Chains A and B, each alone.
Chain A
Amino acid sequence: MSPAANVLTRAALPGDASSPARQADAAAAPAGQALLQVDGLTLEYATHDRVVCATHRVGFAVHRAERFVLLGASGCGKSSLLKAVAGFLKPREGEIRLDGEAVREPGPDRIVVFQEFDQLPPWKTVLGNVMFPLLASKRADRSDARERALDALHKVGLADFADAYPHTLSGGMKQRVAIARALAMQPKVLLMDEPFAALDALTRRRMQEELLSLWDEVRFTLLFVTHSIEEALVVGDRILVLSPRPGRVRAELNAHDFGLHSLGSPAFQAQARRIHGLLFDDDKQGISA
């Protein structure tokens, strides 16, 4: 597919058709339409002597085949939001609904790609790792799982490494395996928690490119957490900007016009500066308040 066609198809998403309406108020988006609906989510975590509020009444809606990015400085609760959607964190108040059903616990319909490389069990080969969730969740029998796993590995370009063990792979390859594992499961929503943050800059650029071309091919729904404005603009087509400590919704912006091809273009720079302003002005207000 040519880059021009990419832009066209991305612009013609069903999720984007309603974007002007949702820009006005994310929480007011029609619930029936969104795949993932998060309403008034307050998250807390306990340290040994206090309870810290990670997010305060955050709401957003993710539509099918959307690439939704949670962006914020460290400590804004964006990873906590993702963990709550994954079911690892019980919300203090608010609700998360996936396809109309409330999220209560972790499950194979929301596969997470973590930042850490040790998310791949070291005792399984690359192929075994991709097959593992399919077999563990009893989604497929052994031969079916094998077929789907090989197909997913082929998509991320690791078919030749099917029999290798994770410790022999580079960081970028490990993340590719994690992405292949998620793709093979065909989850309702793919959750990525800063998946490329531990990679070097060149590999990161390459992985962003691959993720976008995979999305062009498969059209999965993506919820992506990052602290990089540039990555948010490149990877996402919709960006939720969170204020720090506790995380609150500062803005929801569109980014479907931007990709790796538009890096450095005036429009890209302008949007990046706007987000920069949103993130850091907030900080000043927080200090003066």
Chain B
Amino acid sequence: MTLASAPLRPEFERELEPLVDAVPERPLPLAQRLWQQASLRKAVILLALALLWEAAARFADNELLLPTFTQTAKAFVEGIASGELIDKARISMALLLQGYLLGIACAFALTALAVSTQIGRDLLSTLTSMFNPLPAIALLPLALLWFGLGQASLIFVLVHSVLWPLALATYAGFQAVPETLRMAGRNYGLRGLRYVLQILVPSALPAILSGLRIGWAFAWRTLIAAELFFGASSGRGGLGWYIFQNRNELYTDKVFAGLASVILIGLVVESLGFDTLERVTIRRWGVQR
């Protein structure tokens, strides 16, 4: 017996007919399609949380400590109807936007400096390691001393809360731009600010957007905390002052309504602002899932 060998089989060729009975597409079942909607899934989560809240409040049965969801909703609707909540939210938002935009401008200037010069890099890393761990609210007494009781002090602490995390995120994003893309940009003859704006910024947009989100959340927190701290003396308080005032007068449902406004504004800005921005940019470009 010799070594085993495979049998020699005949060759063949086939003429391929065009496919006529093409495989039809099959739609997904309705339930599956609905479940793919992120907004629907989130709405289900919110609904479950509201039910849980209502049940817990009814069980505790103490509206001074924990008002029910329906009581809070009522206070919220009344606050909206009387215009008080909207007015407070508007004051807070106006202040927030000023501080936020100013912070973004500062962060951009600092990182642009950092990508172009060695001393700028050192400046950025030194300043961020010094000031990033410092809570913005801890600077408020100092700000009050420098800028007096008023908007300027609040904007100062807002800028502080936005600037450092955003500068860090943007710089990290710039560092992660692929070398090939950098060379392609320089190959086109781009340099200086045009190079930063046309190559580095769009390429680092995922990191910049996450920095903007973090900055936004930090700014919100700082603002509400600062208003709780000295809203009374500035004359026209925002949402933080509304919460503080109503706590003093034991309107716990209104305190909850104020907190709910903060949360709602946050949700709207996340879903309408940042999520939309992400969808039309980095998701569309395929650089983030």
| B27 contacts chain A at the CB level, 8 A cutoff | no
Whether A133 lies near B187 (C-beta < 8 A) is yes
Cα of A110 to Cα of B187 in the assembled complex, Å: 7
Whether B183 lies near A118 (C-beta < 8 A) is no
| A111 contacts chain B at the CB level, 8 A cutoff | yes
Which of A107, A116, A121 is in CB contact (< 8 Å) with B199?
A121
Cα of A121 to Cα of B286 in the assembled complex, Å: 11
Contact flag A137-B189 (CB < 8 Å), given A112-B184, A121-B181, A121-B203:
yes
Whether B180 lies near A118 (C-beta < 8 A) is yes
| A86 contacts chain B at the CB level, 8 A cutoff | yes
Which of A106, A114, A120, A165 is in CB contact (< 8 Å) with B186?
A106
Q: A108-B188, A110-B187, A111-B187 are in contact. List 18 more A-B contacts (CB 8 A).
A: A86-B183, A88-B186, A105-B186, A106-B186, A107-B187, A108-B187, A114-B180, A114-B183, A118-B180, A119-B183, A121-B184, A121-B199, A121-B203, A122-B203, A122-B286, A123-B203, A123-B285, A167-B285
| B205 contacts chain A at the CB level, 8 A cutoff | yes
Encode B175-203 as 1/0 by CB contact (under 8 A) with A: 00010110111111110001000110011
Cα of A112 to Cα of B186 in the assembled complex, Å: 11
Cβ of B199: which chain A residues have Cβ within 8 Å of it? 121
| B284 contacts chain A at the CB level, 8 A cutoff | yes
Closest chain B residue to A116, Cβ basis: B180
Chain A positions near chain B (C-beta within 8 angstroms): 86, 88, 105-108, 110-112, 114, 116, 118-123, 132-133, 136-137, 165-168
Selected A-B contacts with CB under 8 Å, 18 pairs: A86-B187, A88-B183, A105-B186, A107-B187, A107-B189, A110-B187, A112-B187, A119-B180, A119-B184, A123-B281, A132-B188, A136-B185, A136-B188, A165-B284, A165-B285, A165-B286, A167-B285, A168-B286
B286 to chain A, nearest CB (A): 3
Whether A133 lies near B188 (C-beta < 8 A) is yes
| B287 contacts chain A at the CB level, 8 A cutoff | yes
Cα of A206 to Cα of B60 in the assembled complex, Å: 75
Whether A136 lies near B183 (C-beta < 8 A) is no
Whether B180 lies near A122 (C-beta < 8 A) is no
Cβ of B203: which chain A residues have Cβ within 8 Å of it? 121-123
Is chain B's interface secondary structure helix, strand, loop, or mixed overall? helix
B205 to chain A, nearest CB (A): 7
Cα of A168 to Cα of B190 in the assembled complex, Å: 26
Q: In chain B between 241 and 289, which residues have their CB closer than 8 angstroms to a CB of chain A? A: 281, 284-287
Closest chain A residue to B179, Cβ basis: A116
Cα of A165 to Cα of B284 in the assembled complex, Å: 8
Name, among B188, B189, B285, the residue most crowded by chain A CB atoms within 10 Å (CB to CB): B188
Cα of A195 to Cα of B100 in the assembled complex, Å: 45
Cβ of A107: which chain B residues have Cβ within 8 Å of it? 187, 189
B185 to chain A, nearest CB (A): 8
Cβ of B183: which chain A residues have Cβ within 8 Å of it? 86, 88, 106, 112, 114, 119
Cα of A114 to Cα of B183 in the assembled complex, Å: 9
A82 to chain B, nearest CB (A): 11
Closest chain A residue to B284, Cβ basis: A165
Whether A106 lies near B285 (C-beta < 8 A) is no
Closest chain A residue to B195, Cβ basis: A136
Cβ of B286: which chain A residues have Cβ within 8 Å of it? 122, 165-168
Cα of A118 to Cα of B182 in the assembled complex, Å: 10
Cα of A283 to Cα of B97 in the assembled complex, Å: 66
Closest chain A residue to B184, Cβ basis: A119
B206 to chain A, nearest CB (A): 10
Cβ of B194: which chain A residues have Cβ within 8 Å of it? 136
Encode B156-191 as 1/0 by CB contact (under 8 A) with A: 000000000000000000000010110111111110
B100 to chain A, nearest CB (A): 24
Cα of A123 to Cα of B281 in the assembled complex, Å: 7
Closest chain A residue to B199, Cβ basis: A121
A132 to chain B, nearest CB (A): 7
Whether B287 lies near A167 (C-beta < 8 A) is yes
Cα of A135 to Cα of B114 in the assembled complex, Å: 27
A47 to chain B, nearest CB (A): 16
